[in-house]
Structure 1
Amino acid sequence: MPSAMRKSTTTSLPQRLAAAAVALGSCLALAVPAGTATAAPADPVPTVFFGDSYTANFGIAPVKDHDSERGWCFQTTKNYPAVATQRLADKNITLDVQADVSCGGALIHHFWQEQELPFGAGKVPAQQDALKDNTRLVVGGMGGNTLGFTSILKQCSDELRKHPLLPGEPVDPDKPAGECKDFFESEDAKAWLDYQFQQVEGDLEQILMRMSYFAPDAERVLVGYPRLVPEDTTRCLTAAPGQTELPFADIPKDALPLLDQVQKRLDDVMKKAAADDGADFVDLYDRTGNNTACDGANRGIGGLLETSKLDLFGQPIPWYGHPNDKGRDIQAKYVAAKIETVLNR
């Protein structure tokens, strides 16, 4: 069994939920379910945005709080929460944004635990600290980092293994990147994926539960991830206009369907977690099949090694498969529509 797999110790879902109950206190059972608005309120809606790099919109400039440690979250001033808020304001629906605590690299457990920033830059508080008794709307997405999606990408790419800014290590660094399809079809790799998804499921249950506890009157909207790989993977064999690298760099063509299957499974897990806990879900995967990283001028995802709008110490930073401006606007469109529906029901 690969060394990276041996490091994991499985914790059962009942154990995690029991631990959460202890952490939240005996009043947890009395937590009030998320309230239901009967109409879009005339007054501003106290709102908190949370999430990882797909909510922070890593790769889009300028970076918010660039002169403080929070700058290492790579949250842009024009991320989808900001754009969605403006879209809603244009319809006379005003969000009183109490905080946007989305941060690149965040795992689900960073909702309730502080997060260490890269290169020893410091720490940011648990994202749940932004919730208040009067918060009425909580919106954002997490899951990909807990799943270890960047580890999967690095398992399949020699080029990405050279990039320290991209968090995570290959699942098994001793296995060649060119053999990643065979690797992920092995029993050990399947067991690793099953464990990672079990972790995501349990952590999503806890995050939704904590939202209800700390913001008992809030509507909760969990936002999924846009699709990265198209159904027709031959589209990934052509570089985007003006680019020299393929959208998925040196990842073997036979591994691309695997990446898509993993992402679809994550989308299904997130959708089920929201449904099971009475939260709303924004399904971006099903709406972005024509805006993947392989869709040329229509791509909503920047290629793995395509230069983003950011640089670090004078060196350009790749998109690493994150939404570009077009993709950000797609995120904002569907998130704003869901918020409008939630506030009007």
Structure 2
Amino acid sequence: MSEAVRTTTASRARLAAVAVALGSCLVLAVPAGNAGAAAADPVPTVFFGDSYTANFGISPVNHQDNERGWCFQSTDNYPAVTARSLAAKGITLAVQADVSCGGALVHHFWQQQELPFGAGNLPAQQEALQQDTQLVVGSLGGNTLGFARIIKQCSDKLREPSLLPGEPVDPDKPASECKDFFETGDGKEWLDYKYEQVEGELEEALQRMEYFSPDARRVLVSYPRLVPADITKCLAAAPGQSELPFADISQEALPVLDQAQQRLNDIMMKAATDNGADFVNLYAHTGSNTACDGTDRGIGGLLENSKLELLGSPIPWYAHPNEKGRDLQAEHVATTIETALNQ
């Protein structure tokens, strides 16, 4: 049995023990009839997630007066845009909290998150859930998979010191050999283990959502597609840019990134389906808005300057959604929420 499976099994056992101890109290505390609340009523909602929910790179940033500023959560992230678009249709999301934070791993849903530069620790995201929460929406998984580490394994430029977290999977292996590294031997074994870890931890997070907010619809949002099917589009810089969308990552390595993302997408979809949650398949809907789609790109290039600065220097997008990509996220999330609430 792998370490990831053992960890998840132990966590579920602990959660089950808590459920036995508190079950009778929680049953008494749940108001009758909440599950059938009409969509026209305000819907108590919690958003969770990582930098793709926080929409890292889009200015301005929330909570600049406290440690949550280091989450780089945009004041106009896709949760905010989604809430506005639904309000225009008469669906009001009563947002109880948006705890999305850059750098969040799946286990930060139930464990505190350490912020960079010793800025402090944030409570587990599940603490935002309430008994009357009716909707829980967000994305987690990419950081637990270690997508930034995969990118750094394939790029010399991205191995240089930056705000992009993590180290290459194996810094002794040259970036030019990353395709072979991830398809054979230790690299493939590492990647297989990380997928197993993501799957087990996502299942636990979804179960915890159901436990703490038993009447809530849960919506797991996947990640928008980064690399197009036609990788030759990645051989030209976007208009107004000098760097290629994926910097110095070789053309033969780009399908490795896409395959890694597609496998993550499949695991997220399976976790949602197996646990009775709704799933927003952004990967399937954003193939024409990748980082390599020029003026239609919904993803900022790895080294393309975002709208944020730190100490007077611009911060790159590091392959996060730009405003167009943010609006695509909001569009598909809003559609899924509307459908779910009207069922």
Q: TM-score range by the shorter chain?
A: over 0.9
Is the CA contact (8 Å cut-off) linking 2:181 and 2:188 kept in structure 1? no
CA deviation profile, 1:72-127 (whole Å, cap 9, x unmatched): 00000000000000000000100000000000000000000010111111111100
Is 1:314 matched with 2:306?
A: no
| In structure 2, C-alpha distance between the alignment counterparts of 1:17 and 1:62, rounded to whole Å | 41
Structure-to-structure mapping, 1:1-345, within 5 angstroms: 10-13=2-5, 15-23=7-15, 25-27=17-19, 40-345=38-343
Residue 296 of structure 1 deviates from its aligned partner by 0.0
Is the CA contact (8 Å cut-off) linking 2:61 and 2:73 kept in structure 1? yes
Is the CA contact (8 Å cut-off) linking 1:49 and 1:140 kept in structure 2? yes
Question: How high is the TM-score relative to the length of structure 2?
Answer: 0.94
| In structure 2, C-alpha distance between the alignment counterparts of 1:287 and 1:58, rounded to whole Å | 21
Residue 39 of structure 1 deviates from its aligned partner by 7.0
Q: Which has the higher contact order (CA 8 A, sep 6+)?
A: 1
Match of 1:3 in 2: none
| In structure 2, C-alpha distance between the alignment counterparts of 1:107 and 1:18, rounded to whole Å | 18
Runs of 5+ unmatched residues, structure 2: 28-32
SS of residue matched to 2:172? coil
Give the partner amino acid of 1:27. Answer: A
| In structure 1, C-alpha distance between the alignment counterparts of 2:120 and 2:14, rounded to whole Å | 28
Is the CA contact (8 Å cut-off) linking 1:84 and 1:336 kept in structure 2? yes
Give aligned-pair identity as a percent: 68
Is the CA contact (8 Å cut-off) linking 1:38 and 1:343 kept in structure 2? no
SS of residue matched to 1:25? helix
Give the partner amino acid of 1:292. Answer: T
| In structure 1, C-alpha distance between the alignment counterparts of 2:34 and 2:203, rounded to whole Å | 20
Residue 173 of structure 1 deviates from its aligned partner by 0.4
| In structure 2, C-alpha distance between the alignment counterparts of 1:38 and 1:293, rounded to whole Å | 41
| In structure 2, C-alpha distance between the alignment counterparts of 1:40 and 1:169, rounded to whole Å | 48
Is the CA contact (8 Å cut-off) linking 2:49 and 2:104 kept in structure 1? yes
Is the CA contact (8 Å cut-off) linking 2:141 and 2:198 kept in structure 1? yes
- Number of residue pairs the alignment of both structures matches: 336
Give the partner amino acid of 1:170. Answer: P
| In structure 2, C-alpha distance between the alignment counterparts of 1:196 and 1:130, rounded to whole Å | 27
CA deviation profile, 1:134-173 (whole Å, cap 9, x unmatched): 0000000000000000000000111111133111100000
Residue 41 of structure 1 deviates from its aligned partner by 2.6
| In structure 2, C-alpha distance between the alignment counterparts of 1:166 and 1:87, rounded to whole Å | 32
SS of residue matched to 2:44? strand
User: For structure 1, which segment, 260-269 or 183-192, has the greater mean C-alpha deviation from structure 2 after superposition?
Assistant: 183-192
| In structure 1, C-alpha distance between the alignment counterparts of 2:84 and 2:274, rounded to whole Å | 30
Runs of 5+ unmatched residues, structure 1: 1-8
Is the CA contact (8 Å cut-off) linking 2:35 and 2:215 kept in structure 1? no
| In structure 2, C-alpha distance between the alignment counterparts of 1:311 and 1:231, rounded to whole Å | 32
| In structure 1, C-alpha distance between the alignment counterparts of 2:270 and 2:296, rounded to whole Å | 30
Is the CA contact (8 Å cut-off) linking 1:225 and 1:285 kept in structure 2? yes
| In structure 2, C-alpha distance between the alignment counterparts of 1:28 and 1:222, rounded to whole Å | 27
CA deviation profile, 1:149-204 (whole Å, cap 9, x unmatched): 00000001111111331111000001111211121122211110010001001100
| In structure 2, C-alpha distance between the alignment counterparts of 1:93 and 1:70, rounded to whole Å | 29
Residue 291 of structure 1 deviates from its aligned partner by 0.1
SS of residue matched to 2:3? coil
Is the CA contact (8 Å cut-off) linking 1:132 and 1:215 kept in structure 2? yes
What's the Cα RMSD here?
1.9
Alpha-carbon distance change, 268 to 257 in structure 1, aligned in 2, over 3 angstroms: same
Give the partner amino acid of 1:110. Answer: H
Is the CA contact (8 Å cut-off) linking 2:262 and 2:283 kept in structure 1? yes
User: For structure 1, which segment, 163-172 or 303-312, has the greater mean C-alpha deviation from structure 2 after superposition?
Assistant: 163-172
